[in-house]
Amino acid sequence: MFLEFDQVGKKFKDKENGEFEVFSDINLSIERKEFVSLLGPSGCGKSTLLSMVAGLEKSTAGAISLEGEKIKKAGPDRGMVFQQASLFPWLNVRDNVTFPLKSTMSKKEAEERADHFLKMVHLSRFKKHYTYELSGGMQQRVAIARALAMDPKLLLMDEPFGALDEQTRHILHDELIKVWEETQKTILFVTHSIQEAIKLSDRIVVMGTRPGRIIADFKVDIPRPRSRTDARVVELEEQVMDLLKDEINKVLKEELENEVEYTY
């Protein structure tokens, strides 16, 4: 298996309440070239789990393995795209893409590679622009091009379109699918949006909360491009929504009980 989660758990230290369990017993297998979305309510640990795959966080239980090797730290075999583009404003678009390549290849090779991926995300004519001259959607395209230019085995995306307007998100959804089909990269994608997950993914892994855990794993075998009015899309959206409603109601009930207990 390409990416494997084996009994993964995470706890944080809390000075007031001791240990806080973010999630536990995460068991998940992802195959090469799959597009998998992690979907769930706030607080279920989606982004923390993604950071652990990136090597930015350590698990407190279990292990995560990439091609049979346990992940212990960050590495170039995993590319990360965050909700904010995290670009260098003092560098132009091309230089932002070539920045992580300078230590591994010549300037000419790095620029040729950057130009290739900037063309893929339709930013060739903006390569000399500074990033602050670009829209939010264009900045995210630069971030995607930078991640792809490093030729990672796995592309990790943490709500990369969450801060964008709906129209821009839809455009970038279509572009991301084209990039994924062309590069054949494995993508692990975190989102709060059911519609986004259904439109993009081969699989949707739904996480519950308090503590976080996997409650469902849907295979999305609907041909692309997917229309929101397609009966199969509507049915899947309702199934996922029902699961998430149950999880959110559990959280609200728990918070209400704690509030009542506190008032006494």
pLDDT tens per residue across span 10-67: 998 877 767 888 999 999 999 999 999 999 988 889 999 999 999 999 999 999 999 9
Backbone phi, psi, residue 79, to 5°: -100, 140
d(CA 152, CA 53): 13
pLDDT tens per residue across span 116-125: 999 999 999 9
pLDDT of residue 264: 38
* pTM (two decimals): 0.92
Q: Are 158 and 83 in contact (CB under 8 A)?
A: yes
What is the SS3 assignment for 247? Answer: helix
pLDDT tens per residue across span 91-130: 999 999 999 998 889 999 999 999 999 999 999 999 999 9
For residue 226, CA distances in Å to 34, 163, 169, 196, 229 come to: 17, 23, 15, 11, 9
d(CA 30, CA 123): 31
pLDDT tens per residue across span 207-250: 998 788 999 999 999 999 999 999 999 999 999 999 999 888 87
Per the structure block, which two tokens stand in for 220?
Answer: 């999305």
- Give the class (CATH, top level) of 3-77+152-263: alpha beta
What's the start-to-end Cα distance of the chain, in Å? 52
Per the structure block, which two tokens stand in for 92?
Answer: 């132009």
pLDDT value at 262 more than 80: no
For the chain, what are the domain ranges?
3-77+152-263
